[in-house]
Amino acid sequence: MRPLTPRRLFWICAVLSAILFVAVVISLRMGAYPISVRQIVMTLFNGALGRRDRIRSEFWLVVFGLRLPRIALGILVGASLATAGAGFQALLRNPLADPYVLGVSSGAALGAILSLTVAPRAPAAIQAAAFAGAVATIAAVYFLGRRRGQLDSSTLLLAGIVTASFLSAVIMFLMTMLSGRDLRGMAFWLMGDLAAPPSVDLRWLYLLLIIAIGSIYSTSSDLNLILTGEREARHLGVNVDRVKLVVYVAASLLTGLAVSVSGAIGYVGLLVPHVMRLLFGSDYRLLIPASALGGAILIVVADTLARTVVAPTELPVGAMTALAGAPVFIYLMRRRGR
């Protein structure tokens, strides 16, 4: 791989952003309501200038009321999960780590469900609870995944898978007990879904997203060193514990953020960082922004497919990402075994 220069970083991010933009335009075009690209462009143009009276009201509702919020949510969720995945992979030194595979998403979902039961109206409580659930789960998986004081790769994955299925069972139990309450369905929490936008203001969540991605990014040079060897990194003056803490908190925050608004969408955190590594190498200074953009692209594309393949009925977006992600997981696992 070529060395990372600012120019290369800029161009890769620019190209990924351009792909994301194209995906967004395509996603805006697709749907049950027929609307042409020209009409979308005119709607966006007039909308940006604040000229609502020039737009047909259904165009306005479809573009600004339905499709754009859903795409914005998809970008948020995709960027969060992919960056969280890259973060967990560095933290646990395991390329198969992913919020969904490790059970962190289920932990966040459980936290969210509990907060909806206890305090359904409290603002931001669901995000805080999902974050707490993610933090607790990853801590549990980390301790369960150790053997003789060492983090063992396959034990860690097994611990994660067992934790995920245990937490899913608890969620199912809770949902059965609490049925009739105003909670979202079991499928939402276990599979993930972008169909109904959350009631919280997305600007808030984007702010949290940027803070969390930024803090992981600020540790990326140190992460590169830690990945070559913890002891060597310490010798080179890296504060390993502080870096790990930052990545741990930020990646849990990102998972909690995504799960609180979209349920447990799987395999994004596995698929995207892996593809980005294959394409651009494993330098975390590039991997973090590339994964964030790649995750956004993946979710926007997957959600567009999910809502058009069997239209007018919709598939949960988690089904789409699992369809692509599970084979990649198996491929990666087999390749490591060799």
Partner 1 sequence: MTSAWRKILAMGAGGWLLAAPAHLFARSQTSASGALAPAERTGTRIVTDETGRQMTIPAEVRRIVTLAPNLTETVYALGLGDRLVGDTNECNSPPAAKAKPHVGEPQDPSLEAIVALRPDLILASTTINRAETADALLRLGIPVYTSNPHTVRGMLDSIARMAALMGVPEQGQTLVADLRGRLDSLQARLAGCPLVHVLFVVWEDPLITIGQNTFIADELRWAGAESVVVSRQNWPQVSFEEVIRLQPDYILFAGNHQESASAEIADLRSRPAWRDLHAVEMGCVADAGEEAVRPSPGLVDAIVKLAHTLHPEVFGPGQKAGPSSLAAQVAGPEGGIARGEGAACAR
The span from the CA of 28 to the CA of 7, in Å, is 31
Residue of 1, 22, 26, 32 interacting with partner 1 (CB under 8 A): 32
Of 133-192, binders to partner 1 (CB under 8 A) are 176, 179-180, 182, 184-185
User: How many residues in the shown chain lie near partner 1 by CB under 8 A?
Assistant: 61
CB-CB contact of 165 with 102 (8 Å):
no
Residue of 285, 324, 326, 332 interacting with partner 1 (CB under 8 A): 285
Residues 35-54 vs partner 1: string with x where CB under 8 A? ------------xx-x-x--
CB-CB contact of 110 with 304 (8 Å):
no
By CB under 8 A, tell whether 71 contacts partner 1: yes
Q: Which residue has the tokens 């060395």?
A: 3
Residue of 169, 172, 236, 311 interacting with partner 1 (CB under 8 A): 311
The span from the CA of 13 to the CA of 81, in Å, is 18
Q: Which helix (H) or strand (E) holds 174?
A: helix 153-177
The closest alpha carbon to 88, from 210, 247, 219, 211, belongs to 247
By CB under 8 A, tell whether 287 contacts partner 1: no
Neighbours of 153 (CB within 10 A): 17
Residue 88 is encoded by which pair of tokens? Answer: 């967990």
Q: Which helix (H) or strand (E) holds 2?
A: none
The span from the CA of 289 to the CA of 12, in Å, is 9
Closest separation in Å from C-beta 20 to partner 1: 7
By CB under 8 A, tell whether 8 contacts partner 1: no
Contacts to partner 1 by CB under 8 A:
6, 9-10, 13-14, 17, 20, 24, 31-33, 47-48, 50, 52, 57-58, 60-62, 64-69, 71-72, 75-76, 79, 176, 179-180, 182, 184-185, 195-197, 199, 201-203, 206, 209-210, 213-214, 217-218, 221, 285, 289, 292-293, 296, 311-314
